[in-house]
Structure 1
Amino acid sequence: MSVSELSDIEKAAVLLISLGEADAAEILKHLGPKEVQRIGEAMSRLDNVPQSRVEGVVSDFLEVVSDQTGIGINNDRYIRAMLNQALGEDKAKTLIDRILFSTNTSGLDTLRWMDPRQVAEIIRFEHPQIQAVIVSYLEADQAANVLGYFDDKVRLDVLMRVAALDQIQPQALQELNDMLESQFTGPRSTQLTKLGGVRSAANIMNFIETQIEVELMEGIKEVDESLAAQIQDLMFVFDNLIDVDDRGIQVILREVQTDALVIALKGADTALQEKIFKNMSKRAAELLRDDLEAKGPVRISEVEAAQKDILAVARRLADEGEINLGGGDEMI
C-alpha cells in the first residue's frame, strides 16, 4: 500500500509512532478523546511498516505544515484504553504520565482519562449535585457508563439534576476542581461556567443501555412529564435515521457491518428499511432483503444493541462533520 492509499488517520498513526514517546505525547495532549481513540485504533493495526512509507508520510506532513502558520487543534484529553491497546501498558503509561500531569490538565480534566468505574467510585459518596456537575463535565458516552454503575434512584436523581443545570458559579466550580486536584495532583485550568442542561441529559441518554434508558425515562416522566418530553425530543434514536439525507445514509452504510445492519433492521419499520435499500446498489439491496427474510427470530436485546452500535457510528460521523443528523436543512 502506497502513502497515497493511507487514510489521514493511518498517516497520523505512522507519524506519531515514528516520532517517539516524548514528541508523540506533546502532540497527543492537544487532541480530543475521540480523535486519539481513532489514532490509537490505527496504531494497533500497524504491522511492519516499511521505512519508505514512514518517510513518505513524514514528507507529506512537512509539506502540509510548511504552508500553515499554525495547526488548529482542541486542547482536550485522550482515551487511556486506546493507547494501552496500541502501545502496550508500559509505553502507554509513559505517554499518559507526560500528558496527564502537564500544565494543561485540571482535576476535572483528569476524570476524563479514567475508566467509568473509577469515576463512579470516586464520586459515589459525593452530594448528588456534585455528581451531576461532574457527569455534565464528562463526554456523553463516558457519563452514560458512569451512571451505569449507580443504582436506579441515584441515576434518576443525577440525570434530572444534569437536565436542570444551566450555569455554575466559577468559584464553586473552582472549589470542586481543587478538591479533585488534591487527589490527582494537577494545576488549575481555565474556569468554566456553562454545564449541563436538557441537551446534555439527552446526549447522555443516547449512550445509556436501552433497558436502563427506558427505566430512566419512565422515572423522569413520573416526576416531570414535560422534562421527559424535552429530553425525548432531543434524543436521536434509530427511527430518526429516516430524517438523515441520502448522502448521509450512504456514508453511514460504508462503516456498518452487514450482519449488524440485518439485526438492526429487524426492528425497524418498513419506511426506514426502504430508505436503507434505496441508498445501496441494486445488488447489495437484494442481498440485504434476502438476508432479512432468511434471518430467523432475533432477541429484542440483540436488535437494540445493533441499533445502538449503528447510532454510535452515526453520531461519530456527525461529530466529525461528515453527515447531518438534523435532516435536510441545506446551507445557503
Structure 2
Amino acid sequence: MAANEQQTALLAQRLAKNRALTGVERAAVVMFALGDVHGAPVWDQLDDLEIRELSAAMSSLGPVAPETVDDLLIDFVSRMSATGALNGNVESTERLLASLLPKDRVGQIMEEIRGPAGRTMWEKLSNVQENVLANYLKNEYPQTVAVVLSKLRAEQAARVLAILPEDYALDVVRRMLALESVQKDILERIEKTLKTEFMAGLSQSSRRDAHEQMAEIFNSFDRQTETRFLSKLEEAAKESADRIKQLMFTFDDLAKLDSAGIQTLLQEAPRDRLAVALKGASLSMREFMMSNMSSRAAKMLTDDIEDMGPVRLRDVDEAQAGLVGLAKDLAAAGKLAISKSKGEDELVY
C-alpha cells in the first residue's frame, strides 16, 4: 500500500473511533468550523429546505471533540487536493445527496439532472461559447449539426453558422430547412455523444486545479488555523501539502516584489493598516518595507508601530491579509508583477 493510502486509512480509522456523525451532522460541523465569514458563500447556495435541515442539525449537534472537527476538515481537504480523489458522476452525486437531504428531495434533484431527453443537455449547450461549439461541430456530419442547431436558440445558432466554413454552413442550413421531427432514439444518441465527447472534454479542460483552489482557501485562514491545517495535512498527504504551500501567496512573499512593485503597494496601502501588519512582521520584512520608503515616511511608520502598544494576533493577520489582497488587486490591474521567487519571469497572479 502506498504511503498516501496508508495515511488515508489511518485517518479513516481515527474518524471511525470518534463520534459517529450522519451526513447532515458532518455538514453541520463543517459550517460551524467555517463560521459566519467563510460560511456565508455556502449558505447563499442553499435553498430554504436545505437551510432548515442544516440549521436543525446544527442546533441539536451537541459537543463535538476538537479532534473530530480537525479530522473531518483534514479529510475533506485531503480528498479535495489529492489528484483523482474525487470522481463526480450521477451515482456518487446521488449517494452524497442522500446523506444530506430527504429522500423525496433527492429524487426531485436527480430527476432534474437526468431530466427528460434533451432538456439538461441543450440548456448546458446554450451556455457554451459559439466559437468553441462551432470548432467541435465542424467535424460532425452536417445532418447531425442540423439537428443540434435546431435545438438551440435562434441567435446562438446564427452565431455558430456564421463561424462555420461557408459551404459547410449552407449545407447545414439546407438540411435544417428539410428537417422533420427527429426520432427519439436518434436525439438521445446525439445527446449521449455530446455528453460523453464534447461536454465531458469541455469540463475537463476548464476544470480548475484543486490545489490552486485549496491554496486560496488556505490563504484566507488566520495564521494559527493555517499552521494547524498544513501540519495535519503534511501527516495525511505530504505531497498535497507541499503543492499547496508552493501555490500559496502569503505576506512573507511580498518581500519577493521588485522595488517598483513594493513601492506601488506602499503608496496604495492605508498607513494605519500597514503599521498593524508590520507590528507582527519579522525584522527582515520590516526592514525590507522601510528600505523602500523615504527616511521621513519610515520614521513616521516606526513611531506609529511603537506607539500602538500590544496588538491582537487576529488584527495583525487581518492587516497582513489585506496587504496581500491589495497586492493581488494591483497585479490584476497591471500595476505590479507578482512571482513566487525573485528573478522568475512567470506571473502567478
TM-score (norm 2): 0.46
Structure holding more helix per residue: 2
